[in-house]
Amino acid sequence: MLKMFKTINKEKVFPSQDLKPDFIPFPKKCAGCGKKLPKEQFKIQHNVCPKCNYHHPISSYERISMLVDEGSFTEINRNMLSTDPLNFPEYKEKLESDKEKTSLNDAIVTGTACIGGYPVVLGVMDSRFRMGSMGSVVGEKITRCIETSLETGVPFILFSASGGARMQEGVLSLMQMAKTSVALEKMNKAGLLFVSVLTNPTTGGVSASFASLGDINIAEPQALIGFAGRRIIEQTIREKLPKDFQTAEFLLEHGQLDMVVDRRDLKQNLTTILKIHTTGVNTRDRK
């Protein structure tokens, strides 16, 4: 059997004091309205344009920092690496390049934390690493998150930001769609809450598997969500698609999402969901 991933050392738990938000380079102009962005206000607003509300990309650690209760995040499985099982040309070099650019080992950060006082297992994908593509490491880390939820009885919250399956890992990448879906079915049978948050972009095999399987599916405003690309669909059906096709708002209108929530309101909304849907003790009640 091919070895799809490896762990570079046995340490798998990293406490919250090691969490250092890695900020994405500041864009001088908004990708939504084209206007100049006020740097300080842009950062305070978590990379949301204060003029047009366009949600710019945000790094995984920065999202975790804004979302979880202070000091509550413990990262797990950080040192898992792809082994390039197919010996795909230039894949190792591209992985090393992305590691250097992002300080990540792959396209997802996972761990345990509290949100609004409620314990959760958390996964946050990062589109800066190989376009957030899903390979064997991403699939394994998500599956281990689900297993942690099953062991501890706490909800799993997953933020998707992905271009789909990672082509350099071929069928081993596609296998992660089934692997994560089967694991989520076990979680469903156990009666545990899974909240899927879809961010820009969530496409391909990720949108066709775990990202769409939440008990509650949430998206950020204007997020691109879909399987095949717009042009391919139009060529196949020989029809022009609506301008807002494959946007979060379009999917909400057509019943494929439960909520579209501004990034700045996500923590409060998730806290409310956890309060309603879980029986766990709020850690703040213990004080």
User: And the tokens for 237?
Assistant: 């059906």
**Residue 138 and residue 56: Cα distance in Å, rounded?**
23
User: And the tokens for 224?
Assistant: 């691109």
33 is in an annotated binding site: yes
114 is in an annotated binding site: no
**Residue 138 and residue 166: Cα distance in Å, rounded?**
10
Q: Can you give the chain as a three-state secondary structure string?
A: CCCCEEECCCCCEECHHHCCCCCCCCCCECCCCCCECCHHHHHHCCCECCCCCCECCCCHHHHHHHHCCCCCCEEECCCEEECCCCCCCCHHHHHHHHHHHHCCCCCEEEEEEEECCEEEEEEEECCCCHHHCECHHHHHHHHHHHHHHHHHCCCEEEEEEECCECHHHHHHHHHHHHHHHHHHHHHHHCCCCEEEEEEEEEEHHHHCCHHHCCCEEEECCCCEEECCCHHHHHHHHCCCCCCCCCEHHHHHHCCCCCEECCHHHHHHHHHHHHHHHCCCCCHHHHC
User: And the tokens for 132?
Assistant: 């957030």
Whether cis (ω within 30° of 0) applies to the bond prior to 201 is yes
Q: Binding site, residues?
A: 30, 33, 49, 52
Q: Binding site for Zn(2+), residues?
A: 30, 33, 49, 52
